[in-house]
Amino acid sequence: MLNRRLLLMGAGATALIAGARWMQGEDVQAATTFEVQKTDSDWRRQLTKAQFEVLRLHRTEIPGSSPLNQEKRKGVFACAGCDLPLFSSETKYDSRTGWPSYTAPLADAIGTSTDHVLLLPRTEVHCRRCGGHLGHVFEDGPPPTGLRYCINGVALKFIPADDA
C-alpha cells in the first residue's frame, strides 16, 4: 500500500482523476491500523498460497475458479483471513462474471479504498477487521442497491446457516 501511495503522489494526472475520493479520505482509511494485524510471514503460515496472494497481495483469482460461484445455500460468507462475517447469502446473485457477487455487504464488515492498478480508479473492497483484500465494488449491480460487490471467492469462507 505504501508503494502504491508513493506512486500515486508522483503521478499528478492520476491523482487529479482520483481527486474527489482522495479528498474524502478513502485512501487514508485504507492506511489506518486494522484490528487484526499480522506480519507477512504470519499470514503466509496461516493462509494458503492462493488466499495469501488475494488477501495480502491484492491479486485476482481466475474467473470461474471458486466453488463459491455455485454456492446457493443460505449462510454467511466470512473473511478467510480473520473469520469476520462479510456477506449474507441473501445478497448473493449470479453476475455471470465468474466471481461471487453481492449487492451489499453486512453492516460494519468492509472498508474501501481507491485502487489505481488499472488506468481508471476503482473502488477496492477489503475486510474491515484485518484489511484483507476482497475485490472491488462497481455501480452496475441489480436492485435494490445497484451495486456489484465483485469478490474473490478464495478470500471468503462459506458458513452454512444451521437450518440449511
The residue within the footprint of Zn ion, chosen from 105, 121, 132, 153 (CB under 5 A), is 132
The DSSP 8-state label assigned to residue 30 in this structure reads H
Q: Near Zn ion by CB under 5 A, which window of 7-15, 46-54, 122-130, 154-162?
A: 122-130
Binding residues for Zn ion, total number by CB under 5 A: 8
Q: Near Zn ion by CB under 5 A, which window of 3-11, 90-98, 125-133, 134-142?
A: 125-133
Least distance CB 78 / Zn ion (angstroms): 8
Tell me how far CA of residue 115 lies from CA of 37, 83, 119, 125, in angstroms: 21, 24, 10, 9
The residue within the footprint of Zn ion, chosen from 30, 76, 78, 79 (CB under 5 A), is 79
Dihedral class, residue 25 (left if φ above 0, else alpha if ψ from -120 to 50, else beta):
left
> Which residue, 18 or 134, is less far from Zn ion as judged by CB?
134
The residue within the footprint of Zn ion, chosen from 130, 154, 155, 156 (CB under 5 A), is 130
Q: In the chain, how long is the greatest CA-to-CA distance?
A: 54
Task: Give the residue among 16, 127, 28 at the shortest CA–CA distance from 82.
Answer: 127
Q: How many residues does the chain have?
A: 164
- Measure the CA–CA gap between 74 and 97, rounded to whole angstroms: 21
Interface with Zn ion, residue 134, by CB under 5 A: no
> Which residue, 10 or 33, is less far from Zn ion as judged by CB?
33
Active site includes 79? Answer: no
H-helix or E-strand containing 6? helix 2-10
Enumerate binding residues for Zn ion (CB under 5 A). 79, 81-82, 84, 127, 129-130, 132
Q: Which residues are catalytic?
A: 150
